[in-house]
Structure 1
């Protein structure tokens, strides 16, 4: 099985760093929306595909634009929500990386499924500053559950730190911020 991790398009929170990191619920910029549309050519979807999406507006919008008019499964999961990389002690989640409330996701993205197989605390806390040993445990379970979906390829729309955390876990290689994907950049990993 292949996991194709795709970083969201350009988000509003990246336009004036560090000040813009304080934006709550940032969406995509116009450039980010164009980047999401380009994914249609790079990764043409069919109704049989599955996309797992982080519960932030920028990732949800990326998946929505990319999959427009395609009736594939779109599953929203906090298991691919923002993750600080490298993990730093005593850090807290920035406003731009807070997970959207379930009610907002269901209202704004009614055709997306909610991953109900995760503990409720992950829907509020996410994996952003989760201790490494706990992240490894739930990430390994996530990969096993992806294999149970019985697909050759699963797409995951997520964040630079999250993608790099999963890449490091799966590959066994030490990675750094230099290994972050660019906007709508991607990595395919065989599990």
Structure 2
């Protein structure tokens, strides 16, 4: 099975750091919207495909714009929500990385199914989870992907999360220089 991790389009929180990192619930910028639209040509979706999105506005908007006009399955999972990379227990989750509540996702993005609607990760996310906890999260998520029976799954997520999954799956030590660019992709294969 092939997993294509796609970083979301440019978000409002990236325009004027560090101040803009304190924006709560940032959406896509105009450039981010154009980037999401460009995914349609780069990765055309069909009704047989699945896109899994992180539960943040910018990832949900990226998926929504990219998948417009298709009947592909769309799912939201907190197991691909923002993750600090590298981990530092002294760092705090920034307001721009707070998960949308399930109720808000259901209300504003009702074409998405919600994975594990009562799970613990919906309340706290994976941003500050220990490496040991992340290993369990990654195993659970990858097993869930295998259970879908899909040959390819697209995952719209965040630079640190994508890099954490990539490091876990390859066993190679990665750094922030390995982050994908906006709407950049990382292809991984699992058996």
The TM-score with structure 1 as length reference comes to: 0.98
Partner of 1:69: 69
User: C-alpha distance in 2, partners of 1:181/1:139?
Assistant: 19
> Where does the alignment leave 5 or more consecutive residues of structure 2 unmatched?
none
Partner of 1:147: 146
Secondary structure of 1:52's counterpart equals strand
Secondary structure of 1:83's counterpart equals coil
Deviation at 1:144, TM superposition (A): 1.0
Residues 33-48 of structure 1: matches in 2 within 5 Å? Answer: 33-48=33-48
CA RMSD of aligned residues (A): 0.9
Q: After the TM superposition, which parts of structure 1 deviate over 6 Å for at least 4 consecutive aligned residues?
A: none
User: C-alpha distance in 1, partners of 2:152/2:169?
Assistant: 15
Partner of 1:115: 115
- Asked if 1:169 is matched to 2:168, the reply is yes
The TM-score with structure 2 as length reference comes to: 0.98
User: C-alpha distance in 2, partners of 1:163/1:154?
Assistant: 14
User: C-alpha distance in 2, partners of 1:118/1:178?
Assistant: 35
> Where does the alignment leave 5 or more consecutive residues of structure 1 unmatched?
none
1:30-64 Cα deviation digits (max 9, x unpaired): 00000000000000000110000000000000000
- Asked if 1:13 is matched to 2:5, the reply is no
- Asked if 1:105 is matched to 2:117, the reply is no
Residues 73-84 of structure 1: matches in 2 within 5 Å? Answer: 73-84=73-84
How many residues get paired?
190
